[in-house]
Amino acid sequence: MMLPERIGKYRVDAVIGRGGMGLVYRGFDTAIERAVAIKAIGRTSLPFDEQTATLDRFRREAQAAGRLVHPNIVQVFEYGEDGDTAFIAMELVEGCSLHQELAARRRFTLREVARIMAELLDALAHSHAQGVVHRDIKPANILLNADGRVKITDFGIARIESSNLTQSGQMFGTPYYMAPEQFLGQQAGPAADLYAAGVIAYELLTSIRPYSGGTPQIMRQVLDLETLPIPPSRLNANASATLDEVVLTALAKPIEYRFTSAAEFGTLFAQGIVDSLALTGDATPGDALPGPAAGVLMTGLAGAGSRLAALRRQYTVPPGSTFPGPRSAARPISSAHKPRLLVVDDEERILSALKSVFRTDYHVFATSDCERALAFITKYRVNAIVSDQRMPGMTGVELLRRAKEIAPGSMRILLTGYADLAAIVGSINDGEIYRFVAKPWDNNELRSIVREAVAVSIELADLAPPPSLQMQPDRALLVVDENGELYRSTRELMADVAPVRQASGPEAALGELAAGDIAVVLFDIDTGNPSDNANLIKTLKQDHPQLLTLVVTEASDSELMIGLINEAQIFRFINKPVVLKSLRGHLIAAMERAQQFEQAPLLVRRQAPEPSAAPRLALPGHWLEHVRALGERLGLRRRRS
């Protein structure tokens, strides 16, 4: 196409964009030697009966936008007419649009999202204060200069273009970013800009828009109060519950439930980012909001909180309402209830894989830095921790031991290989590991383990702190060993704590369990056949999960150990030769846990391992009769597979 040599006083160098009603040129102001962008509309391109009104509004809107002087708004230099061409000369932004970045599938970091939204909302706050509403905030109208700074363009022009095209039977603008009132043809005020900014925030965080489909489908979703966006945290595990609340408030369908100002939106969004950085372990002291902003935050939280509370109530349609009033429906769902899962591994691919597995159901905090992980659990309650054993600077066992001291209510899961027998035993004893998971893991199995661990953590949080150790006299400890040596030592160690009884083997152990109220079993697994003993322990745990078992062994069979951990949830492993001081500590811890189980029967059931047929089939028939008798005595039912 032929370029005009000049438009007004500006030399025309190239076409750099196309709008709904005209072209955007790269131009040059030769008088002051400045590059400019020129948006031009030809009078002859407009319907004859709309020319005068459209150009008048174009001029008035350009004049309004020209009043806006802000570092994040494309500066308007001049409105002019050259023959039948009306034009606006404005700041030339060297860079690309946010739309181009999103179309290229760029993923933005939390800090990048924070900066983009802060600059966008600051610009909107300025424009609204000047009485100018953009009405077409969307990624295509957000330019990013060479330094990444936001520059909003087309201020005040969208309304004119929208009006023209609507009269032509088309709906102008990208429907994804249009507020409900715009679909209904109502006046679009500042709240519409904030809604569009909320859509952009959602897209930056999740890489998708809150509503999808063609224009009719999007309109139905936007106007239907029962159709709600998925909370961002379910699509981005790094997003915090605070960020969910803020974004969903910005996307509220009734105007009165959205933010009252861009400043309020901006302050609360910044807090949501700070909370999200804490989840990812990337928070620094510099991320905290400054004093004045913190004050605005508290005020904003109160106002936004009341609106969010209103959003969650049930409503009916107001008589004569032009906008479908709130109906009896679920409001935007807060993800504040989502449990927190901490994942620690020195391989980024492992962290990414685990985040992908769990981010739908949990807030996942992932890090390769053990000290950062410990700092996080010091500040935030974590329901479950999944850690690799072989970490630089600190083993997984040490990390989980320290985590237990800081956050005893968290459930700890260790990832490691079959060769790490010492780590397996140490992880059970030092960190009270809930489960051991060998690499490579099965995702379904891992989900099940984490789900159970989180459930246990939640129930433990509701328990009162254990009372000082005053064991009930009828709660006994059973020692299973062939020669009685372990029994005699244990009786001396625990005489002031609980009754201690002995069984010389598995069959005698079943008899003792059926005859008395045993809370804890100390089992020398090397007595007789270790495999039969292991099978008995597994079966007992499956049928009677309230039993806590400590295993004494000199075995080095990693597979045997792993089977006991995963299928019998062994409370502690004790290596031979037995250190009596350590043994007493382990046994007291087991008796305390048994008391907790008495206080929370549901916790006992959640502790039960998944049923396994293999150990049961390997047991002699008369052992199974003992097991059934024990179950009848204790009034417990076998878990159904």
Distance CA 231, CA 188 (A): 25
Distance CA 112, CA 114 (A): 5
Using CA atoms of 447, 450, 455, 459 in order, give the dihedral in degrees to the nearest 10.
Answer: 180
Is the CA virtual torsion 19, 67, 135, 101 positive or negative?
A: positive
What confidence score (pLDDT) does residue 63 get?
77
| Distance from the Cα of residue 193 to its chain's centroid | 27
What confidence score (pLDDT) does residue 627 get?
52
Distance CA 418, CA 562 (A): 8
Q: Let me know how many helices (H) and strands (E) the chain has, helices first.
A: 23, 19
Pair 205, 239: CB distance under 8 Å: yes
Pair 209, 196: CB distance under 8 Å: no
What confidence score (pLDDT) does residue 625 get?
55
Distance CA 334, CA 547 (A): 38
Q: Walk me through the domains of the chain, giving residue ranges and CATH numbers.
A: 6-91 (3.30.200.20), 97-312 (1.10.510.10), 340-462 (3.40.50.2300), 476-634 (3.40.50.2300)
CA nearest 205: which of 64, 330, 334, 102? 102
What confidence score (pLDDT) does residue 95 get?
87
Pair 138, 200: CB distance under 8 Å: yes
Q: Is residue 289 classed as helix, strand or coil in its secondary structure?
A: coil
For the chain, the 3-state helix, strand and coil shares in percent, each to the nearest 5, are 50, 15, 35
Distance CA 392, CA 525 (A): 34
* Average pLDDT by stretches of 10, the chain with 641 residues: 86 82 86 91 78 77 81 90 88 91 87 95 93 90 92 67 38 76 85 96 91 77 83 84 92 93 95 89 64 48 51 37 36 56 89 85 90 92 89 84 87 73 59 71 78 74 52 76 87 86 82 78 83 77 77 72 73 83 86 76 56 44 53 41 33
What confidence score (pLDDT) does residue 143 get?
94
Contacts of 65 (CB under 8 A, 6+ apart): 76, 88, 132, 155, 156, 157
What confidence score (pLDDT) does residue 161 get?
40
Pair 158, 173: CB distance under 8 Å: yes
CA nearest 244: which of 205, 214, 218? 205
Look up residue 122 and give its two tokens.
Answer: 């600051």
Contacts of 379 (CB under 8 A, 6+ apart): 278
Which value, in Å, is the radius of gyration of the alpha carbons in the chain?
A: 33
What confidence score (pLDDT) does residue 70 get?
93
Using left for φ > 0, alpha for ψ between -120 and 50, and beta otherwise, residue 416 falls in beta
What confidence score (pLDDT) does residue 626 get?
55
What confidence score (pLDDT) does residue 562 get?
67
Pair 58, 153: CB distance under 8 Å: no
Pair 198, 251: CB distance under 8 Å: yes
Burial 590-607 (b: 16+ CB within 10 A, else e): bbebbbbbeebeebbebb
What confidence score (pLDDT) does residue 331 get?
35
* Interior angle at CA 526, CA 524 and CA 530, nearest 5: 110
* Interior angle at CA 321, CA 316 and CA 324, nearest 5: 60
Run of H or E including 78 = strand 76-82
Distance CA 13, CA 463 (A): 74
Q: CB neighbours (10 Å) of residue 626? A: 21
